[in-house]
Structures are given as C-alpha cells and as structure tokens.
Structure 1
Amino acid sequence: MIYRVQAYGHPLLRTKSVPVDAGEKGLDLLVSDLWQTMRRANGCGLAANQVGKALQLFIVDSRSTYLQQDTAARKADFEVEDTGIEETFINARICSRSERVWVANEGCLSIPGFYQPVVRPWSVEITYMDKDLKTQHRTFSGITARMIQHEYDHTQGILYLDHLSPLSRKLLAAKLKRIREGKVHTTYPLEFYR
C-alpha cells in the first residue's frame, strides 16, 4: 500500500514517536508499505510518522544513491568499500556521534521542493532492531550516517529545518507557508493538515 506522506505543518511530524512493541500487529506489512511509499516518492529514507504512524520505525536506502553516483561523488560521500545500505531501523538509539562533521544538502519528502545545507556528524554508532527483530549495533558513516540521522530525527519530532540558522529558517518562511497551505505539487501523494 502506498501511503500519503504527511506534509510540513502536520503535528505528527513534531511528535516524539513511541517504541515499537515486538509483537506489533501488522509490523511486517507496515515495513513493506514504507518501502513501497518511499520508492514511489523516489526518496532515500522514510520514517513511520511521515505516514501517520507515531512509531520508532524508519527505513534508509543509501545503496541507490551509491549506484547513481560517479566515482568522485562516491569518494566524497562513502568510506572505501562502503556501497550503501537498504535497512529497516526499529526502536533505534544513537549511542554516539563523531566529532568530525560535514555539510551537505538535505531534502525531505514532507518538505518537498527544496534542499538546504545541514551540518551533521560524519559517523554514528547506533543500536536498533532490523526487520527480523534482531538487535544490531553498528557504526555507519558518510551519506548513510546522514540519512540515518535525518530519519532518526523524525522519530524524535525533529525536522532538518531545526538544524538551520534562524536567518535561514526566516528566509524559508514563505515557501514553508505554501507547503502548509497545500500549494505545492509533487509526483507522490501528500496529506496536508487543515
């Protein structure tokens, strides 16, 4: 099933998500639907609260980014021998972040139409359950770590806009208002809060 993506202004995007119960009914189907919805929207990550489910659940696909990049871009965004991931993160907890940071443009399916430079740690250490509910403890870096941090923020009610300077946010106010009002066109279904 393809879900409508909650657009900027929806209160659920500002709600801290609750942990997923290991016996959560329909969890496999929800994970499958998240992947379908993300792929339909041509995204690289999606959190459950972006489709109306306030659960600590998100997915990340950095492998597609890796496959689309040329060699120079791969060197800038990925560690040697890292070819990206397609991973489900359930009840994730970031344990540590590197001191090394980098700036790259980020966008969001809930905030369509523009990208902004965001400072993020280069790597993160994270504990989570995968789609098979097996506990994982891994370290990710580069663009994969950026995607993870972006989606993890969603589960905490944080948007990438919150990482921008007050001036940058002020300059975006008119564009964000248009999104809240539903005056935006996308190739995927959006749900606006009225």
Structure 2
Amino acid sequence: MIYPIVVYGDPVLKKEAQDIEEGSIDVKKLAEDMFETMASASGIGLAAPQIGMSIRMFVVDGSPLDDEEGEEDMSDFRKVFINPEILWEDGEEWVFTEGCLSIPGIREDVSRPERLRINYLDENFKEHEEEFDGMKARIIQHEYDHIEGVLFTDYLTPFKKRILKGKLANITKGKCDADYKIKLPKKK
C-alpha cells in the first residue's frame, strides 16, 4: 500500500515519536508499505512520521544512489530501523545538499558528522548495533531526526529560514510540485 506523504506544517513532523512494542503492529507489513511508498516517491529514506504515524521506525534504501560515479557502494543498504538509538556521532562535519519528501522542492546544505554508531531492532525485532559512515550515516541521521521531531530545515540559519518562509508556507497549503501523493496539514 502506498501512503500519502505528510508535508511541512503537519504537527506529526515536529513531535518526538513513540517506541514500538513488539506485537503491537505488523511491522513487516508496515516496512513493506513504507519501502513501496518511498520507492514510488523516488526517496532513499522514509520515517513513519512522514506517513502520519508517530512511531520510532524508518526505512532506508540507498541503492538508487549506487549508480552515481565515485560514490560508496550502496547496493546492500536497504534496512528497517525500529526503536533506534544513535549511541554516538563523530568525525569531520561535512556539508551535503539535502532534500526531504515532506518538504518538496526545497534542497539546502546541511552539515553533519561523518560517522555514527546506532542500536536498533530490525523488522524481526532482532537487535543490531552497527557503525555507519559517509552517505549511509547521513541518510540514517536525516531519518533519525524525523522520529525526534526534527526537520533538515531546523539546521538552517535564521537568515536562510527567512528566505524560505514563503516556500514553506506554500508547501503547507499544497502549493508545491510533488510527483507523489501528499497529505496536507489539517486546517486549524
């Protein structure tokens, strides 16, 4: 099932998500739906809040990046992260232009540490503790931010936020170009 993507302005995107109790939901089916939703929107990561669910789960698939010359091997980077916890981040901060399915049409430079260690459960509720670096770490950091209620625009300078204010307001109203189904914030 393909879910609509919740866009900027919806409170679920700014809320810290809740842990998932084993057996409380069908995480395998949800993961399958999230991968399908992400692929249909040409994404490389998708967090549950982006489909309106305030739970600590995200999926990543870096394989679309594998075609890019000089990039790290992303062909095997397809994972489900449930109740993740970043244990540490370190290394040089590096800047990369990020985008987000919940903020269509806006891409901005974001600085993040190059490495991390994360503890998480997979779709079988098997525990893992792994280290990632480079683009894999960045994708995880971006999606992890979603379950913490943080968007990449939160890292921008006040000046940059002022410049984008009108575009962000338009996204909230549905005045944006997205070639996938979106869900607008409920009007107050």
* TM-score normalised over the length of structure 1: 0.92
Corresponding position of 1:150: 142
Residue 96 of structure 1 pairs with residue 88 of structure 2: yes
Partner amino acid for 1:70?
E
Amino-acid identity (%): 36
- Contact 2:62–2:74 (8 Å) recurs in 1: no
The correspondence for 1:190, drawn from 162, 182, 186, is 182
Q: Match for residue 64 of structure 2?
A: 64
What CA deviation, in whole Å up to 9, does each residue of 1:42-92 have, x standing for no partner? 000000010011100001112321x22013xx1xxx3xx665510100000
Contact 1:64 1:84 in 2 (8 A): no
Code of the aligned partner of 1:179: I
Residue 42 of structure 1 corresponds to which residue in structure 2? 42
Contact 1:8/1:176 (<8 A) preserved = yes
Distance 2:9 2:144 in 1: 19
Aligned residue-pair number: 186
Secondary structure of the 2:135 match is helix
Listed as ranges, the matches of 1:25-174 within 5 Å are 25-65=25-65, 67-71=66-70, 74=71, 78=72, 83=75, 85-174=77-166
Give, in whole Å, the separation in 1 of the partners of 2:82 and 2:115: 19
Q: Please give the TM-score of this superposition, normalised by the length of structure 2.
A: 0.95
For 2:145, give the aligned amino acid. D
Name structure 1 gaps, 5 residues minimum.
none
Equivalent position SS for 2:91: coil
Name the aligned partner's letter for residue 128 of structure 1. Y
C-alpha offsets along residues 121-175 of structure 1, whole Å, 9 cap, x if unaligned? 1011000001221100000000110010000000000000111111111111011
Aligned to 2:168: 176
Letter in 2 for 1:138: E
Matches of 2:183 and 2:117, distance apart in 1 = 33
In 1, distance between residues paired with 2:145 and 2:94? Answer: 17
Asked if structure 2 preserves the Cα contact closer than 8 Å seen for 1:123 and 1:145, the reply is yes
Measure, in 1, the Cα distance between the counterparts of 2:40 and 2:139: 18
Aligned partners of 2:15 and 2:148 also within 8 Å:
yes
Q: Is the 8 A contact 1:63 1:85 kept in 2?
A: yes
Q: Which runs of 5+ in 2 are unaligned?
A: none
Runs of 4+ off more than 6 Å: none
